[in-house]
Structure 1
Amino acid sequence: MKTFARFALPALLSLSTLAVAQEEPKGPPPALVEIDDVITEMVSERIWVPGTVMSRTDSNIASEVGGRIEWMADVGDLVKKGQVLAKLDDELLQLQLDQNAADIAKWESRVDLLERKQGRVSKMAKLNNSSRDELDEIISELEIARQEVQQAKLNKRQTEYRLAQTQVKAPFDAMVVERIQTPGEYTSTGSDLLRVVDTENVEASIRAPLSASPFIARGQEVIVKDRYSEKTESVRTIVPVGNSNSRMMEIRVALKPGDFPIGSAVRVALPHSDSHEATTVMRDALVLRQSGTFVFIIDDENKAHQVPVRTGIGMGERVEVIGDVRSDDNVVVRGAERLRAGQTVRFQETTEIARN
């Protein structure tokens, strides 16, 4: 009896170990993945075209009068509309203004004299003490004197206008980006003094093929990007006119101030086909193999199912897929390379995955 008990205990332990081993789950352990939604959206073919960022108002400011430059705004100065950009020497115009005032006084005095003379001659003519011709001559001289007064006043207004133009003012809110002349130099009428640029009203000028014109409309949103950033902006205007050589048209896309430097190069994604409804996934969801392309869909039991797909139109980070994929599915976007069909998965927040 004792001998049986001695051998029975190891036998029981072996049976227990075997039972536990049979209850352990088979297959690989749950994989750590990140998932994303499958969505249905409108897509269309796109072409990337180059463009240049520019201000809607980029002007060379000239003077309407000549003179020596006494002062000028510096490069980099921000000026408001009506603020002085440059001042010219106005001494000669001040002297001319004094001359105009003297001319007005002279002719007004002449008018006053002739009016009094006309009154006396008119009384004498009624008494037949003077001829009618003498009265007509005085009336004519009086009319000429009155016209000279008007001419003198007009000359004074012209001088005042030219005097005001010795202070060259900003036509709009802008930044001074270039001094074409410098203080101390003499400028003539119409000569450029400064270059100013409106840094608040910015847009991209794009040359696009005329074949894209049927698919582009004003206000349509497009993607604009450079090496460092990517923005969604709207088309401001379209000029669907090309030439026989380039077959290109111009498109202007409104930009937000500060998003892209003025003068920099950008690329713009323009639609190049009619839009249609499509099922899209993140590009990272695609698993490329020699046998084809597929995605992993996660079911309600957190198991991965491999679904073959064909790709269609790409839209930025998303791409159209054609296959047994629905808009309410979840697809794996990280960790799909190591997954196996039917493998259980577990989820972790994106920030935690990035940290690990």
Structure 2
Amino acid sequence: MNKKIGLVGISVCCLSLNLAAQEVDKTPPPILVQVDEAKEEAITALTWVPGTVMSQTDSDVASEVDGRITWMANVGDSVAAGEVLAKIDDTRLQITLSQNQSNIARWRAQVTLFEKRLARYENLEASKNTSRGELETVVADLENARQELEQATLAKNLTEYHIRQSSVKAPFTALVVDRIQAPGEYTSIGQTLIRVVNPNNIEVQVKAPLSVLPFIESGMQVNVLSKTHGVMESVRAIVPVGNENSRMMEMRIALKPGDFPIGSAVRVAVPSSEEHGGVTIPRDALVLRKSGTYIYQLNQDNEAQQVKVETGVGMGSRIEVFGEVDPTQLVVVRGAERLKQGQKVRHEWTGDSLTALN
């Protein structure tokens, strides 16, 4: 009889242990979440304004001489400063140069002749064998010949200059954007031949509201963003002049070569309020519910702690929050909708964010 009672007791104990184990097994495993940091940082309201990437040196290059175009750089060619962009036929100028050289030789001979005549008349005048008037005439003829020789030399120099200018050279490191004329066509003085830009000297032209003027200054860093990537660059210049219609002013943001292609449309984040300190979190960390806005932070035991917050200034992908937010604790940015107060999670660092482990 006692043996049966003992067996029954053992069976009851085993059943209790099994039930207890089943209860333990019902405890949910740590949920998988992605987390990021809460940060204490300087905060300012940002206004995103459109901008266009442009070259500071965008030029329509013309010729200083007229004539038929014999050669021109192709669109897309990169030409170093001082190298040839286009060539103009200089046959007529070479003929003019030969005429100039002939004139110089003729007037040089005249100057030599009148110098010898002057010397002879000075000797005659010293011996009283000629009149003063004849001597003065020879002096005038010599001076006139010298002036003509000077004019002929200047004409030759000008022709040589025009010959040099018949090879139109790049005023800076130039990328050929467009050929306004083509080889074989006749060009006139000042008529645009070719459009070039300097691809190494680029900036963003921005139209910003005048209301941001008190919060910006030359040299400050701003975020410049395109559809593919973003950079932080400096404000090069501010033109604090608007008009009565748009109330917009112009800003120029310096860029590094290769930041963006010339002509790209970008957006620039311009400060529009005074700077103050605060706590920011990723926007994705916000959990919106009927009772309010919440975030989940992780304590030292990797347990989710629900924190009610109010939002403030937005800063790109982050946003200012007010509440009992601990900037030393991680914030859940993925999977927060499924969390409950005190629930366990697991995670690890991956890149710039923290991601849950399996």
TM-score (norm 1): 0.94
Matched, 1:207 2:210: no
Aligned partner of 1:9 in structure 2 is 7
Matched pairs, number? 354
- Matching residue of 1:248: 248
> 1:256 and 1:17 mapped to 2: Cα distance?
75
- Matches of 2:38 and 2:215, distance apart in 1: 26
Aligned counterpart, 2:162: 162
Counterpart amino acid of 2:96? Q
**For 2:348 and 2:119, how far apart are their aligned partners in 1?**
109
Are 2:151 and 1:135 aligned? no
Question: What is the alpha-carbon distance in structure 2 between the residues aligned to residue 7 and residue 201 of structure 1?
Answer: 97
Change (3 A) 1:113 1:246: same
AA aligned to 1:93 is L
1:64 paired residue number: 64
SS of the equivalent of 2:33 reads: strand
* Partner SS for 1:182: coil
- Indicate the SS of the match to 1:263: coil
Amino acid at match of 1:150: E
Please list every run of 5 or more consecutive structure 2 residues that lacks an aligned counterpart in the other structure: none
Deviation at 1:353, TM superposition (A): 5.0
Residue identity in the other structure for 1:162: H
- Once residues 340 and 350 of structure 2 are traced to their aligned partners in structure 1, the CA distance between those partners, rounded to angstroms, is 21
Q: How far apart, CA to CA, are the structure 2 residues paired with 1:306 and 1:165?
A: 76
TM-superposed CA distance for 1:355, in Å, is: 10
In 1: Cα distance, 2:77 partner to 2:11 partner: 90
- Contact kept, 8 Å, 1:42 with 1:275, in 2: the verdict is yes
Instruction: Report how far residue 354 of structure 1 moved.
Output: 8.8
Do the aligned partners of 2:239 and 2:251 also contact (CA within 8 Å) in 1?
Answer: yes
Q: Secondary structure of the equivalent of 2:51?
A: strand
Q: Answer whether contact 1:56 1:201 (CA < 8 A) is retained.
A: yes
Distance 1:290-1:283 versus aligned 2 partners, 3 A rule: same
Percent of paired sites with the same residue: 52
Two-structure CA RMSD over aligned residues (Å): 1.9
Shift of 1:285: 1.6
> Any idea what the Cα deviations from partners look like across 1:174-195, whole Å, max 9, x if unmatched?
1111110010010000000001
Query: What amino acid maps onto 2:278 in structure 1?
Result: A
CA distance in 2, matches of 1:12, 1:272: 77
How far is the alpha carbon of 1:262 from its aligned partner?
Answer: 1.5
State the distance in 2 between where 1:145 and 1:279 align: 89
Moved more, 109-118 or 294-303: 294-303
1:181 correspondence with 2:167: no
- My pick for the range that moved more, 63-72 or 327-336, is 327-336
- Cα distance between partner residues in 2 of 1:218 and 1:17: 78
SS of match in other structure, 2:124:
helix
Structure 1 residues 111-150: Cα deviation after superposition (integer angstroms, max 9, x where no partner)? 1111111111111111111111111111111111111111
Structure 2 residue 124 is the aligned partner of structure 1 residue 124: yes
Conserved? CA contact 1:55–1:199, under 8 Å: yes
1:297 deviates by 1.6
The answer to whether the 8 Å contact 1:104/1:149 transfers is yes
Distance 1:130 1:216 in 2: 87
Give the residue type in structure 2 aligned to 1:198.
N
Alpha-carbon contact 1:302-1:346 (below 8 Å) kept: yes
Paired residue type of 1:312: G
Residues 34 and 349 of structure 1 are in contact (CA less than 8 Å); yes or no, is this contact kept in structure 2? Answer: no
SS of equivalent to 2:331: strand
1:79 corresponding residue in structure 2: 79
Structure 1 gaps of 5+ residues are none
Amino acid at match of 1:347: H
Query: 2:226 is matched with which residue?
Result: 226
TM-score (norm 2): 0.94
Aligned AA for 2:141?
E
